[in-house]
Amino acid sequence: MTQRDAGTPGPLTRVLLCENDPAMRAALADLILSYPTLELVAATSDPDEAGEVARQNHIDAALLDVRMPKGGGPRAARLVREHNPGARIVALSAHAEREVVLEMLLAGASEYLIKGADENAIGDALQRTGYGHLGMPSMELEEMVFALVERLRAASPAQPGAPAAAEAR
Protein backbone atom coordinates (compact mmCIF):
# COMPACT_ATOMS: atom_id res chain seq x y z
CA MET A 1 0.00 0.00 0.00
CA THR A 2 1.14 3.53 -0.73
CA GLN A 3 1.24 6.29 1.87
CA ARG A 4 -0.98 9.30 1.27
CA ASP A 5 0.29 12.86 1.41
CA ALA A 6 1.18 14.28 4.82
CA GLY A 7 -2.27 15.84 5.26
CA THR A 8 -4.09 12.51 5.07
CA PRO A 9 -2.77 9.76 7.37
CA GLY A 10 -2.88 6.08 6.50
CA PRO A 11 -2.21 3.84 3.54
CA LEU A 12 -3.92 4.04 0.16
CA THR A 13 -5.52 0.97 -1.37
CA ARG A 14 -4.03 0.56 -4.85
CA VAL A 15 -6.84 -0.41 -7.26
CA LEU A 16 -6.77 -1.91 -10.74
CA LEU A 17 -9.96 -1.47 -12.77
CA CYS A 18 -10.81 -3.74 -15.71
CA GLU A 19 -14.01 -2.93 -17.66
CA ASN A 20 -14.45 -3.24 -21.42
CA ASP A 21 -17.25 -0.65 -21.79
CA PRO A 22 -15.56 2.78 -22.12
CA ALA A 23 -18.41 4.76 -20.50
CA MET A 24 -18.68 2.35 -17.56
CA ARG A 25 -14.88 2.27 -17.21
CA ALA A 26 -14.79 6.09 -17.01
CA ALA A 27 -17.63 6.17 -14.46
CA LEU A 28 -15.98 3.52 -12.28
CA ALA A 29 -12.61 5.28 -12.53
CA ASP A 30 -14.28 8.51 -11.36
CA LEU A 31 -15.90 6.62 -8.49
CA ILE A 32 -12.56 5.14 -7.40
CA LEU A 33 -10.87 8.54 -7.63
CA SER A 34 -13.60 10.07 -5.47
CA TYR A 35 -12.43 8.00 -2.47
CA PRO A 36 -9.50 9.55 -0.59
CA THR A 37 -8.45 6.06 0.56
CA LEU A 38 -8.23 4.59 -2.95
CA GLU A 39 -5.55 5.06 -5.60
CA LEU A 40 -6.39 4.12 -9.19
CA VAL A 41 -3.32 2.33 -10.56
CA ALA A 42 -4.84 1.77 -14.01
CA ALA A 43 -8.14 1.47 -15.86
CA THR A 44 -7.84 -1.37 -18.37
CA SER A 45 -10.23 -2.73 -20.98
CA ASP A 46 -9.44 -6.46 -21.08
CA PRO A 47 -7.77 -9.27 -19.11
CA ASP A 48 -4.50 -9.02 -21.09
CA GLU A 49 -4.08 -5.35 -20.14
CA ALA A 50 -5.05 -6.09 -16.53
CA GLY A 51 -2.51 -8.91 -16.33
CA GLU A 52 0.25 -6.68 -17.68
CA VAL A 53 -0.55 -3.91 -15.17
CA ALA A 54 -0.67 -6.47 -12.35
CA ARG A 55 2.70 -7.85 -13.45
CA GLN A 56 4.30 -4.40 -13.32
CA ASN A 57 2.61 -2.97 -10.19
CA HIS A 58 1.62 -3.78 -6.66
CA ILE A 59 -2.17 -4.13 -6.57
CA ASP A 60 -4.21 -4.25 -3.34
CA ALA A 61 -7.62 -4.62 -5.00
CA ALA A 62 -9.04 -5.18 -8.48
CA LEU A 63 -12.52 -4.25 -9.67
CA LEU A 64 -13.25 -6.57 -12.59
CA ASP A 65 -16.11 -6.71 -15.05
CA VAL A 66 -17.22 -10.31 -15.30
CA ARG A 67 -18.17 -10.44 -18.98
CA MET A 68 -15.48 -9.17 -21.30
CA PRO A 69 -13.70 -10.44 -24.41
CA LYS A 70 -10.47 -12.44 -24.04
CA GLY A 71 -11.61 -14.60 -21.12
CA GLY A 72 -13.57 -12.08 -19.08
CA GLY A 73 -13.41 -11.52 -15.35
CA PRO A 74 -12.33 -15.05 -14.44
CA ARG A 75 -9.20 -14.79 -16.61
CA ALA A 76 -8.48 -11.27 -15.38
CA ALA A 77 -8.82 -12.46 -11.76
CA ARG A 78 -6.38 -15.31 -12.31
CA LEU A 79 -3.84 -13.00 -13.98
CA VAL A 80 -4.10 -10.40 -11.20
CA ARG A 81 -3.76 -13.05 -8.48
CA GLU A 82 -0.81 -14.66 -10.30
CA HIS A 83 1.22 -11.46 -9.85
CA ASN A 84 -0.47 -10.12 -6.69
CA PRO A 85 -1.64 -13.15 -4.68
CA GLY A 86 -2.97 -11.01 -1.83
CA ALA A 87 -5.05 -8.73 -4.06
CA ARG A 88 -8.72 -8.46 -3.19
CA ILE A 89 -10.82 -9.28 -6.26
CA VAL A 90 -14.22 -7.58 -6.56
CA ALA A 91 -16.35 -8.86 -9.44
CA LEU A 92 -18.90 -6.54 -10.99
CA SER A 93 -21.58 -7.84 -13.34
CA ALA A 94 -25.00 -7.05 -14.73
CA HIS A 95 -25.93 -10.70 -14.09
CA ALA A 96 -25.93 -13.08 -11.15
CA GLU A 97 -26.18 -16.48 -12.81
CA ARG A 98 -25.03 -19.17 -10.42
CA GLU A 99 -22.39 -20.67 -12.72
CA VAL A 100 -20.90 -17.26 -13.51
CA VAL A 101 -20.68 -16.35 -9.81
CA LEU A 102 -19.08 -19.72 -9.03
CA GLU A 103 -16.57 -19.26 -11.81
CA MET A 104 -15.54 -15.86 -10.43
CA LEU A 105 -15.27 -17.19 -6.88
CA LEU A 106 -13.14 -20.12 -8.07
CA ALA A 107 -10.92 -17.64 -9.95
CA GLY A 108 -10.28 -15.74 -6.70
CA ALA A 109 -13.06 -13.17 -6.30
CA SER A 110 -13.90 -12.37 -2.70
CA GLU A 111 -16.93 -10.23 -3.56
CA TYR A 112 -19.49 -10.27 -6.34
CA LEU A 113 -21.56 -7.14 -6.89
CA ILE A 114 -24.33 -6.49 -9.38
CA LYS A 115 -23.95 -3.42 -11.62
CA GLY A 116 -26.20 -0.70 -10.33
CA ALA A 117 -25.09 -1.43 -6.76
CA ASP A 118 -24.85 1.57 -4.49
CA GLU A 119 -21.61 3.48 -5.10
CA ASN A 120 -20.70 3.05 -1.44
CA ALA A 121 -20.97 -0.73 -1.79
CA ILE A 122 -18.31 -0.68 -4.51
CA GLY A 123 -15.98 1.65 -2.60
CA ASP A 124 -16.46 -0.30 0.63
CA ALA A 125 -15.77 -3.60 -1.14
CA LEU A 126 -12.48 -2.28 -2.52
CA GLN A 127 -11.37 -1.07 0.91
CA ARG A 128 -12.47 -4.09 2.93
CA THR A 129 -10.05 -6.76 4.04
CA GLY A 130 -10.92 -10.43 4.17
CA TYR A 131 -14.03 -11.78 2.53
CA GLY A 132 -17.08 -9.63 1.95
CA HIS A 133 -20.45 -10.50 0.51
CA LEU A 134 -21.91 -11.72 -2.73
CA GLY A 135 -24.61 -9.09 -3.28
CA MET A 136 -27.17 -11.75 -4.18
CA PRO A 137 -30.60 -12.77 -2.84
CA SER A 138 -30.28 -15.46 -0.17
CA MET A 139 -32.19 -18.08 -2.17
CA GLU A 140 -29.76 -17.74 -5.10
CA LEU A 141 -26.86 -17.83 -2.66
CA GLU A 142 -28.15 -21.05 -1.12
CA GLU A 143 -28.50 -22.67 -4.56
CA MET A 144 -24.99 -21.55 -5.42
CA VAL A 145 -23.56 -23.10 -2.24
CA PHE A 146 -25.23 -26.42 -3.10
CA ALA A 147 -23.82 -26.24 -6.65
CA LEU A 148 -20.34 -25.56 -5.27
CA VAL A 149 -20.61 -28.51 -2.88
CA GLU A 150 -21.61 -30.72 -5.81
CA ARG A 151 -18.59 -29.51 -7.81
CA LEU A 152 -16.27 -30.22 -4.89
CA ARG A 153 -17.71 -33.69 -4.40
CA ALA A 154 -17.37 -34.49 -8.09
CA ALA A 155 -13.76 -33.29 -8.09
CA SER A 156 -12.60 -35.30 -5.07
CA PRO A 157 -12.47 -39.08 -4.71
CA ALA A 158 -15.29 -40.68 -2.74
CA GLN A 159 -14.55 -41.00 0.95
CA PRO A 160 -15.53 -44.29 2.62
CA GLY A 161 -18.64 -43.72 4.70
CA ALA A 162 -19.30 -40.27 3.19
CA PRO A 163 -22.96 -39.59 2.37
CA ALA A 164 -23.93 -39.47 -1.29
CA ALA A 165 -24.82 -36.09 -2.80
CA ALA A 166 -28.57 -36.77 -2.60
CA GLU A 167 -28.34 -37.85 1.05
CA ALA A 168 -26.49 -34.65 2.04
CA ARG A 169 -29.43 -32.41 1.12
Domain boundaries, the chain: 2-135, 137-169
Q: Report pTM.
A: 0.74
In CATH, the architecture of 2-135 is: 3-Layer(aba) Sandwich (3.40)
Residue 128 near residue 151 (C-beta atoms within 8 A): no
Which among 6, 84, 74 has a CA at the least distance from the CA of 42? Answer: 84
Residue 45 and residue 158: Cα distance in Å, rounded?
42
Residue 41 and residue 16: Cα distance in Å, rounded?
5
pLDDT in tens, the chain (169 residues): 343 444 554 678 899 999 999 999 999 999 999 999 999 999 999 999 999 999 999 999 999 999 888 888 999 999 999 999 989 999 988 877 777 888 888 888 888 888 877 778 888 888 875 455 555 556 566 676 777 777 778 887 765 555 554 444 4
pLDDT at residue 135, rounded to an integer: 54
User: Which amino acid is present at 147?
Assistant: A
Q: What is the DSSP annotation of 87-110? A: PEEEEEES---HHHHHHHHHTTEE
| DSSP code for 35 | -
- Three-state SS for 161? coil
| DSSP code for 18 | E
Residues in the chain: 169
